[in-house]
Structure formats: structure tokens, C-alpha cells
Amino acid sequence: MAASQSELDRQIEQLKRCEYLKESEVKALCQKAREILVDESNVQRIDAPVTICGDIHGQFYDLKELFNVGGECPETNYLFMGDFVDRGFYSVETFLLLLALKVRYPDRITLIRGNHESRQITQVYGFYDECLRKYGSVNVWRYCTEIFDYLSLSAIIEDKIFCVHGGLSPPRGAGYLFGGDVVEKFNQTNDIQLICRAHQLVMEGHKSMFNNALVTVWSAPNYCYRCGNVAAILELDENLEQRFKIFDAAPQDARGVPAKKPAPDYFL
């Protein structure tokens, strides 16, 4: 176990330098992650205090900025609400760093699935092409997308705060709109104080709606490297008191050289 942990620590440090792992290491990491994730529930229960994060979208250096603001894992207990990949230049490094942290500290970081954690979406919007470009084959993309299938779909904090990537929907249909009446009914039925979700760009990093019954948290600053927005994370203390931390994109001199092929323009 000690040797395995030291190997994970080495990989984490390598990924923090934005250096991607060898294909064989990615395969082994995904196998370890699957063993952990298979035991988690579709609705994963989490204890407070915890820090909640929204979309990252492959913006690796902004993820590092998030950790600078919120604290490193495992000192900080993290919940990431999906959309780790696509659009940004560093989806491989972003997802593998979060996955390595999950394997190393399984009780201190929770990853739930976003709409971009999908084979179909990633073949169109960047992650597939990035894996092919960086590794010369689709194997790493295949290992990662298999892990997507094991991610939790939602989380509930202290039985009071429900966290999900996009929001509430009926059993059938995509792109569904929901409003305050649906939120109020869901919260009352399930004895929930707050729904926390991501998925939607918020220029101020966070936005509360429906008499503070729902909050959107967005954690990708200067989205797509051009939107000019700030990002936020939501810290909950042991009493579920809320504190938002706002941060800007990582400074240019802290970034590596991006991939030559930009992410496609789209909003999904």
C-alpha cells in the first residue's frame, strides 16, 4: 500500500506540472478508480465541511488557481459537480489529476458526472481529439470514458443540500427547463434546504435563484479563454453556512503553451 501511495503521489505531482501520464499508467489509474467508484452510490452522501465546485472544462491552470484559493486536497474536502473535460486545452491533465486525487484520497474528494462525461459529447467537443493528439491512439479516451460510467450522478450534503450537475428533469427528455415551482416542490418533498448545480455560465461565478432555494456555481474563469467571467467555489462549514470565494483566471505567465488546435465554438 505504501509503495502504491508513493507512486500515486509521484503521479499527482507530475500531473500538477501539467505533464500527462504514460498510457499504461492511465490504464492502471482508471482500474484503481473503478474499484473505488463502483462502491459509491448514484446519490453520494457527503459530510460537511465541504467545498463545492462547478464546471472546469479542461482549464487546467484555472483548476490549479482553484486549489490555490480553496486549499489543497486532502486538507480541503471537495465536491466537483462534473464537466471536467472538453472545450479547454488540458482535459487530459485536468481529469487525470482529479481522478488521481480521488484514488489517493477517496474520502476527501467526490466527483459527480456532468453532461460532458459522455462518449458522444467528448467525440465532438475536444476530449477525444486531445487524447488522440497526445497519445496517438484512442486508448486513453476509452479508459477515461469507461470511468465516466461509474461516476455518481448527484450528492447530498448532511441530508440538506442536494448537488447535481444540471438540475431537475422529468424521466424523459433533454434540455428541460425547470422553474421555482419545481424547485420548491422538490425541496419540500425531500426535506432539502438547497439545490446546488453547475452547468450554466454565470459571469459573477455564482447566482442564487427562487428565494435562495437554488444556487448555480461556475468554476471556469474566463470561460473558453474569452468570456471574461470570474469563477467561484462554495464553501460550506460544519453548520452548512455558505461562503463563496471568487477567483480570476490564472495569470498568463503561470500557463503553459496551449495546444495548437483550439476547442470548437459551441454552447451545450
User: From the CB of residue 166, how many other CB atoms can be counted at a distance below 10 Å?
Assistant: 18
Q: Indicate the Cα dihedral angle 194, 197, 203, 209, nearest 10°.
A: -30
Backbone angles phi, psi at 261, to 5 degrees: -90, 115
Say if residues 66 and 53 touch (Cβ distance below 8 Å).
yes
Strand order in the sheet with 161-164: 43-46, 154-157, 161-164, 194-197, 214-217, 206-209
Distance, CA of 259 to chain centre:
21
User: From the CB of residue 50, how many other CB atoms can be counted at a distance below 10 Å?
Assistant: 24
Q: How far apart are CA 113 and CA 210, in angstroms?
A: 25
For the annotated catalytic residues, the residue numbers are 116
